[in-house]
Amino acid sequence: MSDATDQLYLGRQPILDREQRLHAYELLFRNGSRNAADVTDGVQATATVIANAFTELGIEAALGDCRGFINVDEQFLFSDMLELLPRHAVVLEILETVPASAAVVERCKALKKAGFTLALDDVIQLEPAYAELLALVEIVKVDIQPLSRVQLMQLVMKLKPMGKQLLAEKVDSREQMEQCLKLGFSLFQGYYFAKPTIIAGRKLDHSQLSLMKLMGLLLSDAATGELEEALKPEPGLTVNLLRLTNSVGSGTTETITSLRHAIAVLGRRQLQRWLQLLVFASGNVNGTTNPLLLLAATRGRLMELLAGELRPDDKAFADQAFMAGIMSLMPALMNLPIDEIVASLGLATHLRDALCDGSGTLGTLLRLAESSEGGDLECLAEQLAGLPGLGAKALNRAQTGALLWANAIGRERDA
């Protein structure tokens, strides 16, 4: 039987500002296990997950300057364990299922006085019964999906005089994003930003800083491992490197299995020429990281760490897992089907099969990463069950490490 510390620790979804810069994450921690019957106290399980994440495992450090939105149901709202959370690092997201009772209002007043930031989730109308609760929150998350354009406009007109920060959630299209911008929303969340199949046709961008860093490494005759580490945070560069490697090596029987392999096949001189070309072609860069590129890099790192948990002594397998992670989001960035993308990259068969068919251990790891990001508890448990030796604690360690790594990328780019 699993105890509370063995519960599944899920992923997170980006929350962006008006310039589409990363502002926060909604942390999708849930109580649950491979067998839901093992959980006898949901509040205890949720509290343990969050406590472990913010203390033992360091999610607070992984978030960096961003805050984490955490869903709070009625039971957990009244738990003393809620106060384990660092006030400056979280936003308590009061779920729509929480009744606006006198006790709930008093509890929210106490939490606000204690320094917590409160948000109200899934607002689609202003019900008189929620007036007191609404007055206490700083952020109102508006579920735009069930609302017509007129209904959304009318709701925003009622909310604006209250001085609340408005967050549009479940933004699924560019049209919805533009409408919410015009209405004055300051924060945005939804599949338009984070769902791989929604964002399409984006040009793969490379920051000037990353290009110059790679050039410097080449000029100083850095080890191949250093070049590999510098390329890992750059999914766009990585895909283009694979294309170039396959083009240069046409006619060879070699198949590419990792970044290290691609660098070796291409050769340093060709790599340097290619980077010089990109430096001249890149022009001015606005410094804004495409959220989907950041998600791709983070997924790659998550899969690399999971592969290391699964096969600690198999560096090649970890490299291939990283490659599968970043490649899996390329269809959204390039507006092309995955089989068309991989056809031109010369990838190893098992890596190609994982991406196109979801087969093999790499395919299972990829589904695990995807369900972790989306908060799909049932799929997450199914994939874990198919990976003997990889448990919920290992998944949580890997998620924490991937978040920390992605946060370090963001800090370096903002420096």
Burial of 127 (0-12, 13-18, 19+ CB in 10 A): exposed
Tell me what pLDDT residue 415 has. 53
The vertex-6 CA angle with 86 and 61, nearest 5°, equals: 30
Q: State the residue for tokens 């997201």.
A: 93
Report yes or no on 214 lying in a domain.
Answer: yes
Distance between CA atoms of 364 and 48, rounded to whole angstroms?
27
Which of 153, 172, 194 is the endpoint of a domain?
194
Closest CA to 157 of 176, 132, 118, 185: 185
Tell me what pLDDT residue 35 has. 28
Same domain, 28 and 153: yes
With a cut of 50, list the residues of the chain below it in pLDDT. Answer: 1-9, 30-42, 45-46, 55-57, 195-203, 249-251, 277, 280-287
Which of 161, 194, 227 is the endpoint of a domain?
194
Q: Residues 7, 26, 140, 134: what is their CA dihedral angle, to the nearest 10 degrees?
A: 30
Same domain, 183 and 259: no
Same domain, 183 and 204: no
Same domain, 182 and 223: no
How many residues appear in the chain? 415
- Quote the tokens at residue 97: 């299922």
Same domain, 49 and 132: yes
Strand partners, 67: 24
Instruction: Report pLDDT digits (tens) over 244-283.
Output: 676 554 445 567 778 888 888 878 777 776 665 465 444 4
Which of 194, 224, 248 is the endpoint of a domain?
194
Same domain, 146 and 18: yes
Report yes or no on 349 lying in a domain.
Answer: yes
Tell me what pLDDT residue 335 has. 67
Same domain, 125 and 149: yes
Same domain, 62 and 188: yes
Report yes or no on 238 lying in a domain.
Answer: yes
Chain CA centroid to CA 41, Å: 28
Kind and range of the H or E run holding 94: strand 90-94
Find out whether 90 and 63 touch, Cβ atoms under 8 Å: no
Same domain, 83 and 128: yes
Domain count, the chain: 2
> What is the domain-level CATH number for residue 53?
3.20.20.450
- Quote the tokens at residue 309: 């948990």
> What is the domain-level CATH number for residue 364?
1.10.3210.10
Contacts of 406 (CB under 8 A, 6+ apart): 62, 294, 297, 298, 301
Report yes or no on 257 lying in a domain.
Answer: yes
Domain of residue 93 covers 4-194
Report yes or no on 301 lying in a domain.
Answer: yes
Report yes or no on 225 lying in a domain.
Answer: yes
Same domain, 150 and 237: no
Same domain, 208 and 72: no
Strand partners, 139: 119, 165
Report yes or no on 351 lying in a domain.
Answer: yes
Tell me what pLDDT residue 281 has. 45
Instruction: Count the neighbouring beta carbons within 10 Å of the beta carbon of residue 258.
Output: 20
Report yes or no on 411 lying in a domain.
Answer: no
Tell me what pLDDT residue 64 has. 67
Same domain, 360 and 266: yes
Tell me what pLDDT residue 203 has. 47
